[in-house]
Structure 1
Amino acid sequence: MYTRFPSPLFARLFPALRAGMLSFAALLCFGHAAAAPKFEAAQPIPLYSYFATGDVDAEVTAPSSLPTPSYVLMGGGPDVDSAFRWLIQRAGIRPGTGGRFVVIRATGTEAYNPYIYYSDEALTTSTNIADMWVGGASLGLTSVETLVIPSIKAANNAAVNAIVARANVVFIAGGDQSDYIRFWKGTALEQTLKTLMAKNVPLGGTSAGLAVLGQFDYSALYKSATSELAMLDPYYKDITFDPNPLSLQGGFIAPPALASMIFDSHFDSRDRMGRFITFISRIVAPSTTPGGSFGCAGGVLPASASGNSTARGIGISVETALLVQGNGSGKPVTAKRVTNDTTSTESAVYFVRPSVPPSVCSPKTPLTISNVEVRKLADSNTVFNLTDWTGVPLYQHMDVTSGLLYPADWY
């Protein structure tokens, strides 16, 4: 059971609201007897939905461009309050500057708005921020705005893009990443997001929102792939990627600071190491040596224990966020892990990199790959160097042998 909001009703239902699994209408009816059905004329389906908390017309003097990029990679489940505050601060927003925080999603409601904007259950803007609230207004935000963008037409809409273009921070909510690939890729919205990234406007995402932040995305166009089936057949139908086919160009948004990476969420709670190693294996380019053929057909990057242009990925547990920042020209991109003080999980981040290519990687054939490096970050003090993949000691080497993961108890 989630405990993100103090009231018992909100504590149970707000995570579902943020994830888009429950409407506010359903929330209002919760616990009451169902009314007799009424037959009404069908209403037109809106092109998009827009919700605002705060003053969207307030003057904003926070910078519209910044010297270095900032990303929040969040693993789903309960949101990490301090990660949202970090995005606000990295945007140069301070009390008196104003600032617009825009949440985008393909389904769901405006449930993020009060959580990010207000400081407590009484919906105040106090500088004394209660647990389970972000307190954005007290930090300088003048508005939190949510756009539900459920179609290609909506993603090309001028009003939608005008709202996103004014953002000082953008956050991609959870839901279904296949919606983001189907509805947003190749649209005006993608270009708006790329324009913001070129200005280093901070960007974050959780769960499905996290999944679309890599150079390579697990697009999940069909059912969600399982570790067991992925290792038994690394090309089975539920393993779909963006770009498709895999390529070094053409991925959805593909932030430059996150090049060569793929991400996965809900990592340990859903036992996703096996499928994640399979995903990364699929990115490894085929090669032929005197000892035989290695890699995966369709792969585009080498496997190696060194270098910053190799196949690699980051798996993030629930109630966990990785704060990624650029540090200036010629300096590495670095990351720190944060979680909530009240978390009941280990809230770990796993950095996964094959040191050698797969020895068996073919359709309808169990995967075999050895010496996959796994580094584990489970504290909020260590700084990880994403550029050269250092800062956390090796946790363990992992193997997939004939479709079976070793060790199986990796977490």
Structure 2
Amino acid sequence: MPSSSLLRASLARLCHRVAVPAAMAVVSWIAGPPVFAQAVFEVAKPVPLYSYYAEGNVNAVVKAPTSLPTPSFVLMGGGPDVDSAFRWLIRRAGITRGSGGRLVVIRASGTDAYNPYILYSDESLSTSDKVADQWVGGASLGLSSVETLVIPSVKAANSAAVNAIVAKANVVFIAGGDQGQYIRFWKGTALEQTLKGLMQRNVPLGGTSAGLAVLGQFDYSALYHSATSELAMLDPFYRDITFDPSPLSLSGGFIAPPALQSLIFDSHFDSRDRMGRLVTFISRIVAPVNMSGSVYGCSGGVLPASSSGDRTARGIGIGVETALLVQGNGDGRPVTATRVTNPSTTTESAVYFVRPSIPPAVCKPLTPLSVATVEVRKLADSATVFNLTEWTGVPLYRYVDVNAGQLSPADWQ
């Protein structure tokens, strides 16, 4: 891998720095007995409302289309970014060498590490047509700038300057981080309205990890700690399972792209053994129903469980270094998806399509979950086209059950 500080796989992009709060003075002690110690207080610098970084020519005249006929989404599972997925977003935006175009990355914390990775072709920061592994080469495709906004508060998300930058984007990508911050800081703000306005014009949108989590009709909001499969199945209502919208509803979710209706997403799927928690999340979405005198489903659920139809509770789990490219195909035609990964990937890089065929038998607080016959379809190649609307194109891989809080089979992969 390149050793440049601009590496796209650098920890700066995958991790988050912990900052000392602005109101907290930094204290050091002058040498000497404690009784005579003298505190030296460093005056805290003002915290900026937001941070903005740009690479390329932000003043270039952009002729790429401002409105497109069909939507495009990249659903990325975290870990190393998938280079070809960014190229797909750029092309789907109608960006060419003659048109120029702006790609805007938004996040609540972190750095500008995406900017050089997306714009340039290699670690020498060239714009060559020959693109090295682990670089996107956006400039060679016609991209004129990549801009990153760190938007760490409600006030920043309501900033006119922030929204003016986002509104001019030809592509928007939501970085990884903490989806709880995205829900707390961005929902109900001018930024959410700006993003919805872009979606109305079918401007391509992508997200990875936490950025993926906020792209469904239902989002796992992770407002507290990250839920584990084990604890989720033992109590499907335990504290760390939080959703947006809350309470669950068929409307009111953060951005909630219409093309991704009825869906909830999960990332780092294989590496963090998340099948159990995704089945739990989907089960929570299943509405109660009276069957033969007994109530099945989950309290607060809003969709049916079924093995057919496009208005049923469904979820998608995406492995690391994996991207699902989702596109609309015009009125009356289904939304379709293909999977891509990097040539150098060391994982299976699979996508799992999960759908309960019947409602949970037991789904209530402080009680282990029981749900049977959950369909799992697995996509691990880049040639197959999956029909998201009709949930077809990949054969049934297996059924999984949760019996009294235990996943079966445990080796679901």
TM-score range (shorter-chain normalised) is over 0.9
- Residue of structure 1 equivalent to 2:244: 242
- Residue of structure 2 equivalent to 1:15: 10
SS of the residue aligned with 2:10? Answer: helix
Q: Match for 1:343 among 342, 345, 366?
A: 345
Q: 2:4–2:123: 8 Å Cα contact kept in structure 1?
A: no
Shift of 1:10: 6.2
Cα distance, 1:14–1:80 mapped onto 2, change above 3 Å: closer
- Residue of structure 1 equivalent to 2:216: 214
- Give distance in 2, aligned partners of 1:376 and 1:54: 39
Q: Match for 1:371 among 373, 386, 393?
A: 373
One-letter amino acid matched to 1:281: S
SS of the residue aligned with 1:209? Answer: helix
- Residue of structure 2 equivalent to 1:223: 225
- Give distance in 1, aligned partners of 2:190 and 2:304: 33
Task: Give the 5 Å matches for 1:24-39.
Answer: none
- Residue of structure 2 equivalent to 1:107: 109
Provide the TM-score with structure 2 as the length reference. Answer: 0.93
- Give distance in 2, aligned partners of 1:10 and 1:394: 42
Q: 2:9–2:80: 8 Å Cα contact kept in structure 1?
A: no
- Give distance in 2, aligned partners of 1:40 and 1:179: 29
Shift of 1:16: 1.8
- Give distance in 2, aligned partners of 1:252 and 1:165: 17
- Residue of structure 1 equivalent to 2:317: 315
- Residue of structure 2 equivalent to 1:360: 362
Shift of 1:15: 3.5
SS of the residue aligned with 1:274? Answer: helix
Provide the TM-score with structure 1 as the length reference. Answer: 0.94
- Give distance in 2, aligned partners of 1:348 and 1:322: 10
Q: 1:72–1:87: 8 Å Cα contact kept in structure 2?
A: yes
Could you list the per-position Cα deviations for residues 152-190 of structure 1 after superposition, in whole angstroms to 9, with x for gaps in the alignment?
A: 000000000000000000000000000000000000000
Shift of 1:290: 1.6
Task: Give the 5 Å matches for 1:21-100.
Answer: 21-22=16-17, 40-100=42-102
How many pairs are equivalent? 394
- Give distance in 2, aligned partners of 1:212 and 1:18: 18
Structure 2 residues without counterparts, runs of 5 or longer: 19-39
Shift of 1:19: 2.9
Q: Match for 1:184 among 181, 186, 192?
A: 186
Structure with max Cα Rg:
2
Shift of 1:42: 1.7
Shift of 1:8: 7.6
- Give distance in 2, aligned partners of 1:295 and 1:320: 32
Q: 1:74–1:206: 8 Å Cα contact kept in structure 2?
A: yes
SS of the residue aligned with 1:353? Answer: strand
The CA RMSD measured in Å over matched residues stands at: 1.6
Structure 1 segments of 4 or more deviating over 4 A? 8-11
- Give distance in 2, aligned partners of 1:221 and 1:177: 8
Q: What percentage of residue pairs aligned between the two structures are identical?
A: 76
Could you list the per-position Cα deviations for residues 190-218 of structure 1 after superposition, in whole angstroms to 9, with x for gaps in the alignment?
A: 00000000000000000000000000000
Q: 2:286–2:303: 8 Å Cα contact kept in structure 1?
A: yes
- Residue of structure 1 equivalent to 2:27: none
- Give distance in 2, aligned partners of 1:407 and 1:20: 33
Q: Match for 1:196 among 195, 198, 219?
A: 198
Cα distance, 1:203–1:9 mapped onto 2, change above 3 Å: closer
Structure 1 residues without counterparts, runs of 5 or longer: 24-37
One-letter amino acid matched to 1:15: S
Task: Kindly indicate whether residue 157 of structure 2 is the aligned counterpart of residue 162 of structure 1.
Answer: no
One-letter amino acid matched to 2:192: E
SS of the residue aligned with 1:257? Answer: helix
SS of the residue aligned with 1:108? Answer: coil
SS of the residue aligned with 1:344? Answer: coil
Q: 1:15–1:77: 8 Å Cα contact kept in structure 2?
A: no
